Structure 1
Amino acid sequence: MAIVDLNSDMGESFGAYDIGDDASMLSIVSSANVACGFHGGDALVMHETLRLAKENGVGVGAHPGFNDLWGFGRRPILGERPDDIEKQMIYQLGALAGMATALDMRLGHFKTHGALNNMACVDYDLAMATARAVKAVDPSLIYVALPGSEMEKAAEKLGLCVAREIFADRAYEDDGMLVSRKKPGAMIEDADEAARRMVDFVTSGQIESISGKRIPVSIDTICVHGDSPKAVAMAQKVRDALTAAGVEIKSMEMTMRGA
């Protein structure tokens, strides 16, 4: 039987701004990527998101990004030195790990957010900066990366445990990287189509690019972005379709570390 994790980005509300329906999503997914205050989230939101994840038996991980609340971490920030990015990752990891400790929880994984993730996928120095941060803070953390990316290579070089991730709601280029959100067809908005694709990808061990090219990949976890109005419905459709196809849904921490 195939086993896969279903994750979503959460805890991205802050102050007076509500983003996503985390409470509903946490009844569907097996892992939560919790924002750490730079692109979204704040101390109160981090605490509540972790508390709800614990209540639902959902694994938790850090979801750090660029220091860009205004742009929700989705604007490329150029000119940042990799060493400085490494320190920003350590800062965000420490904040969420401290909050988890206060709730008698521990973080299980690390996944970069938005533009930082997209850039590090193709920039080896930036990828190494994120991997070094994990190695420095907690080398037992599972490092989530796009298959075939520079991030996957960096994590493997540093001996980190890597979870290869695909996205239910994103299209792929022929090189296996994500289609830019600026391009038509980048987002998969139909929940039935997303569910069909995920069953196909997981059971075949291949992803299909926007041009129809089939690319063999290892798949450990599937992400449904949590900030869209249709996110909860899509996540439920994907989970139901995978389960109906005989795929077991388990957190990456349980599957990869037996936690």
Structure 2
Amino acid sequence: MAASARKPRFVLKLGGELLEQPDDLARIAREIAALAQRTSLVVVHGGGREIDAALATAGIPKQQVDGLRVTDAQTLDVVVAVLAGGINTRLVAALRKAGARPVGLTGADAAVATMKRSQPMASVAGPKVDLGLVGSPINNGSPQLLTDLLARGYVPVVACIGATRDGQLLNVNADTLAAHLASSLAAKRLVIAGGTSGVLDEAGRTIERLDSRRAARMIKAGTANKGMVAKLEACRSALRSGVGDVLIANGRQVRLDMLAAAKGPVAGCTQVVR
């Protein structure tokens, strides 16, 4: 317990695109297992493309605004089945094989991330949009389950599903959930790993270092693409709450276990700071 308490806390968000192929999943699991040797690590995962495929199979239309999924009751059933019933279990099994001690969870477990239903949001395009059964974290959720697991050397693996106090399940953007957990755990670093090489400038080059003010300007000006808006908002939220920094990384090009010690620019990454 004492050894775990001395390790720095990290939160790692994995985009679902990194977990679709068996070889990628096995490699990611090995890197996470190595990272967990040096940090107290919480993993949060999404699964957008697998959700899209399941919705298409079920004949349910996909709707998104600024990278956030519009979620009705039918869509929520698919989201829960894919994330909690499929991806989370596969990732936990791969981590166990790699030598880690994973525990599969959702944000609904033990009030890990208590939610409220999101209010209609102003989109980059202008008009307000009701996202439906989508949650926003509230500040009085309890990270106690996570801290207990971390103290005992486990790796919590959290699917991006939450619940209100009265038990209504809600879809939660994985970047948003990861930022919230990083804040509530006072994490040293949040890593958002996906399939893109950090934040790109207008010429398509990776921005090595980005501060919150420039991120806000990019969102307002519309120079951040739709999928990146939610990531940048998550970065700003985490940094406001005291998280040390955020790395947005290409999980196919960067070894995740090397990011614990990274201090300067890393190829394929954007470091976001206050």
TM-score (structure 1 length as normaliser): 0.40
More strand by share: 2
TM-score (structure 2 length as normaliser): 0.38
